[in-house]
Amino acid sequence: MPNLTDGAVIAAIQIAGNRAVSIEAIVAKIQTKAGDKINTAAIKRDMVSVRSLGFEDVRVEEKNGTSGKIIMFFVREKPPKPTQ
The reported pLDDT for the residue numbered 55 is: 96
Q: Where are the domains of the chain?
A: 10-77
Beta strands 55-64; 10-16: pairing state: unpaired
pLDDT tens, 2-11? Answer: 689 999 999 9
Rounded CA gap, 31 and 27, in Å? 8
CATH top class, domain 10-77: alpha beta
Cβ(13)–Cβ(30) below 8 Å = yes
| pLDDT tens digits for range 21-65 | 999 999 999 999 999 999 999 999 999 999 999 999 999 999 999
Give the pTM. Answer: 0.90
